[in-house]
Amino acid sequence: MKKIEIALPDEVADQLAFIAAQYINVPNLLTYAVSQLAGDERLATWSDAESWRKLMSGETCPICPSIHDDEVTPDFGYVIAKLRISRFVLVSNQQVRGYCVLTCSKHVAELFELSAAERAMYFDDLAQAALAIQRVYQPIKLNYEILGNTVPHLHCHIKPRYVGDQVPHSPLIEVGKLTLSEQEYRDQVAQLREALR
């Protein structure tokens, strides 16, 4: 066995310690570490209070300007449908087959910022989107991730789980990227739209 030592910033080391306690899968853990060390500028938002305040308020939210558009950038995903209070998108990176995101059409960072009626609509939209994913991809389980640590605009990552995926008892960490042909994206969006009916 070979021991490797690397120096990490304290905040990255703390994140890795937390994740190591949850993930036994070493390749996933190492991939996460490398991605954190790659210099992602989004990591700075935690230490820059003014930048974070502007994101939280919606002033510099990268989602808000296009939330009502019928299209999103192809490098992120493909709009399946606008639902009652959200937009349902097939994510471009299909390393997790059927990975979608449901984004609230109103800028809030937390669920409690929605009225009771809006919250009910958002969760109804989420259930409708999840059922469509279940019908099209037939996973054994769906994972729902409402994070907002990078972009604090309410959105839920919906990740199907399948027999044989790499961490059956933990959340998935994306490793790499899998893009499809334009026709494959169109076909999957059409299937998801049909499943919404």
Residue type, 36: Q
Q: Where are the alpha helices (DSSP H) in the chain?
A: 10-22, 26-37, 49-57, 116-137, 182-196
Cβ burial of 171 (10 Å; 0-12, 13-18, 19+) is: middle
Rounded CA separation 111/190 (Å): 30
Residue in 126, 49, 39, 75 with CA at minimum distance from that of residue 62? 75
Where exactly does CATH 3.30.428.10 map onto the chain? 64-196
pLDDT tens string, the chain, 197 residues long: the values are: 566 777 776 666 666 665 555 444 555 555 555 555 555 555 555 668 999 999 999 999 999 998 888 877 767 899 999 999 999 999 999 999 999 999 999 999 999 999 999 999 999 999 999 999 999 999 999 999 999 999 999 999 999 999 988 788 888 877 788 999 999 999 999 999 999 99
64-196 domain in CATH 3.40.50.300? no
pTM of the model: 0.78
Locate tokens 């499809």: which residue?
180
Residue type, 170: S
Beta bridge partners of 31: none
